[in-house]
Amino acid sequence: MINLKNKLSRRAAFILVLAGLVLVTGLIIHHSGDKFVVPTAIGETDNPFLESEDFQYLDRTNRAFINLVSQTRSAVVQITTTMKQNNDETTNRFRYRVIPREDRDRDNPRGPEDWWEFDFREGFPNIPNRPNRPNLPPARGVGSGVIVSEDGYILTNNHVIEKAEEITVTLANGKEYTAELIGSDSASQRVGGTDLAVIKIDTDGLSVLPFGDSEALEVGEWVIAIGTPLNYSQSVTRGIVSAKGRTGFTDYGRFIQTDAPINKGNSGGALINIRGELIGINTFIATGGFTTGNIGLGFAIPSNLAKQILPDLIENGEIVRGWLGITMGPVTHDLAEKLKLDSPHGALVHVVGKNSPAEKAGIEKGDIILVFNNEKIQDFSHLQHLVGATAVGTSVKIQVLRKGKIKQLTAKLEQRTEEALNTLDPNATKNDVPVVPEQEEEKETFAGMQVEKPTPELARQYGHQDEEGVIVTNVEPKSSAANKGIQKGFLIKEIDYNPINNLKDYEKIVKELKESDEKLVLIYFKKLDNTGHYRTLRIIPNDR
């Protein structure tokens, strides 16, 4: 019994000593003080990074974005529209062909009876000539808008509210108001432009986003987009300015490109800089393949343009634009090299309208417009934007480069209207499938193309009646002409500013070019639709 008790006492003492050692070895002296710290399974409770200068910068940046959003999001609204659906059979339907498997590899066109349709309202294929569905429910749309005045004026995209019978605005606090359309500037009309619109709600004391200077915006700047993507109101995304001056979608937009995520429903919403200023109206996205959502290519109308036309939209309900009366194209690198310009800039005049402001000012086909109203022209879309933004009746100074010489001209702008634009429309007839007669002899080739004089038969086939020049009858693949889009049936009117009245003129100029070291040739031609264009051909030895 004594031995057993002694053994138990010794075992208990050993366990107590072992436990004490574990406790002692588990304690760590904090080097910055005298207290003991017990490690836990979670880890150290003190994080040195949280005390670092790097974290302080991150924390201040994070807090700055939070404050920026809280100060600006109340000025962005959700816009809901309703409109009657058109019961026409073609509405909202995508037509496609069903080709039997045995015919898929054959060149065998199918007839009209083989067309099927997909009705997006119903979600399943329907047979052609199906009766219309009566009493369709109203179609609904969702977009965004930006409050630009305390008394209820809201800026948005025209395509958000276009054809809407009822417009409802929901503020950030959830209050709803019925809105009135004040003014719009459609991008879909032939004479239209910016795709901006102004609506108004009957209230006051609203939060407003101040306009920023979109011209001062720099590529790489942080920006925030706020809107209603896919009906998720008050959604905030962040990104950078990817590029400026992008063209497309509208005639008068030089868009800001951003990678801040933008999706359907963001249209009309705000693009904001880190100062809390409105620097763009989010308008459209670019997608690829089967993707219909954001891939980092969003585009916004610059705030300077929106601010410029806002008063006219409020006061007049529409925008009246200046008109010069020309069609134009880009100054390419090849053309800049040929004309000895320091860089590709300006706008190349293709056609001058009869009795237009341009014709009255002395502008000629082939001129390079370098300066408009004391502003250097970057490209032809820049000139189009400047002309459209200039008031009707304004006299403007225009600098052009003509055959190597600078000329100073003055034009008085007129109003851009449907009738004015028609003066630039050739209204030419053309044969959809022109037939060129077989040639009895091999024709001389230059720049990879062969030409003939415009006989009555050729002129009629290609729509060049009563025109002087030579008609292209063949274009060799991969030649200079083919690479620049010149096709059989085009009418060559001019080479290096020398008029081509007949085949003799053409042969003389071509002979001189073949004997010279000239590598770049400027050709003016008319396409099958009778529209005039310039192309710069870089001649390679095999083309001569």
Query: Coil, strand, or helix at residue 399?
Result: strand
Catalytic residue among 74, 159, 303, 479: 159
159 is catalytic: yes
Q: How far apart are CA 330 and CA 337, in angstroms?
A: 13
Q: What is the DSSP string of 480-531?
A: HHHHTT--TT-EEEEETTEE--SHHHHHHHHHHHHHS---EEEEEEE-TT--
Radius of gyration, alpha carbons of the chain: 35
Report the alpha-carbon distance of residue 261 to residue 276 in Å, rounded.
Answer: 18
Catalytic-labelled residue, pool 267, 356, 381, 480: 267
Whose CA is closest to 147, among 70, 203, 65?
Answer: 203
Which three-class secondary structure state does DSSP give residue 285? strand
DSSP states of 111-146 as a string?
PGGGEEEEETTTTEEE-TTPPPPSSPPPEEEEEEEE
Q: Exposed, middle or buried by CB within 10 Å (0-12, 13-18, 19+), for 402?
A: middle
Say if CB 130 and CB 115 are below 8 A apart: no
Q: Are 506 and 450 in contact (CB under 8 A)?
A: no
- Pairing of the two strands 520-526 and 532-538: antiparallel
* H or E element in which residue 360 lies: helix 357-361
Among 195, 334, 367, 505, the active-site one is 195
Please give the sequence-ordered ranges of beta strands (E in DSSP) within 377-457, or none if there are none.
395-402, 405-412, 414-415, 449-452
Structure tokens at 155: 């800026």
Active site residues: 159, 195, 267
